[in-house]
Amino acid sequence: MPSIPSLPELTLTRPLVVAPMAGGPSTAQLAIAVAATGGFPFLAGGYLSAEALKAQVDAYTEATDAPAGVNLFVPDPAAQEIDEDVYLKYRHQIISKLKLDPQLLPEAPIYSDDAFNDKLNVTLSSSIPVISFTFGYPTAQVIDRVHQARRWVALNATSCAGIDAAVRHGADLLIVQGPDAGGHRASVPDADHFDASPSTGELLAYAARHHRVPVIAAGGIAGPHDVAELLAEGATAVQVGTLFLDAVEAGTKQTHRLGLRNLIDRDTVITRAFTGRPARAIRNQFTDALSDQAPDLYPQLHYLTSGIRKQADQQHNPEHLNLWAGTGFRNIQHLPAAEIVEHLLSASTLADHPQRLAGLRSSG
């Protein structure tokens, strides 16, 4: 087996990471704006074609030499085999409960590996230094390939068991996601269970006690005091997603933006209704009607509801759209990304202390 080359030093000029937000919000323009402040941005590879991801990566690397990451969804080949009766039953429930046109929903289940290998190739062919993986752990061969290319592997965890598993699978960076995070839970089936999640602070403390891997703390960040608290507790950096959804440079759908601004009297819920994977969203008619019925069928449910979500956006109907948001969404502001970064770091005495990471992989 080839030896693993040492990783290049990774410098986080300022301890603020902007989360990958698949489905539109993450853009090269957002990443460039964040990097200009010294923050560390992720580009979201999920749901993009390899060509579209390459265009974003190229736009970023042509604009700046600042480090950034790319996030990829790890496919589960076992998910190709599903009970079609379960799929069809849920399809019927959506149509009947929401009075929708059946033509919006495919009758045959659709599976995709999200062009994982092609997008991995795109990323490794670029100068992007960090690759993060969500929804699963890459194979040992993939991890080795990333390390041979002298790139950092970032893995997500939503539980203490998930932290241990991520380190075992070769994480150079840990991203611990607390239960208040918006969008999909970064949990891994059979290894990292979201329904028993401790808080972000508790996950951070566990990782610091048991492992020597740098830790990025994420989940439910509502403002500068949350950032300051997690940095004071030892986080290498704090990752924020929801508060950038309405940034000027974000690619968030207009109907989603309006929902974030106008539905502040509603709570958020964890639901499988839109994609088959648990995700936190603002409550709406879709989540109320279907959260209890939705089966664990990802990515088939993602493709099942894609036509509904597209129509909802076109018709400016937030009741049928996946309004991903963390619990701190009421603090969202429509501002340039640079101003959001400065606001989030305004309460921390560690905001301007660069972190130079040397890539310690061993656990202790």
Within a domain: 6: no
Within a domain: 357: no
Within a domain: 363: no
Count structural domains, the chain: 2
Work out the burial of residue 283: count CB atoms within 10 Å of its CB; fewer than 13 is exposed, 13-18 middle, 19 or more buried. middle
296 plus 151 within the same structural domain: no
Collapsed DSSP state (helix, strand, coil) of residue 39: coil
170 plus 300 within the same structural domain: no
pTM above 0.85, yes or no: yes
Distance of CA 213 to the CA centre of its chain: 20
37 plus 176 within the same structural domain: yes
151 plus 224 within the same structural domain: yes
Residues whose CB falls within 8 Å of the CB of residue 300, separated by 6 or more in sequence, listed in order: 79, 82, 87, 109, 110, 111, 276
- Could you list the residue range(s) of the whole structural domain that residue 295 is in? 81-111+259-320
282 plus 220 within the same structural domain: no
107 plus 205 within the same structural domain: no
282 plus 217 within the same structural domain: no
Residues whose CB falls within 8 Å of the CB of residue 79, separated by 6 or more in sequence, listed in order: 111, 297, 298, 299, 300
Our separate counts of H helices and E strands in the chain read: 12, 13
Closest CA to 319 of 249, 253, 263: 263
Q: Determine contact, residues 357/8, Cβ cutoff 8 Å.
A: no
241 plus 117 within the same structural domain: yes
34 plus 145 within the same structural domain: yes
pLDDT in tens, the chain (364 residues): 456 678 899 999 999 999 999 999 999 999 999 999 999 999 999 999 999 999 999 999 999 999 999 999 999 999 999 999 999 999 999 999 999 999 999 999 999 999 999 999 999 999 999 999 999 999 999 999 999 999 999 999 999 999 999 999 999 999 999 999 999 999 998 777 765 579 999 999 999 999 999 999 999 899 999 999 999 999 999 999 999 999 999 999 999 999 999 999 999 999 999 999 999 999 999 999 999 999 999 999 999 999 999 999 999 999 999 999 999 999 999 999 999 999 999 999 988 888 889 865 544 3
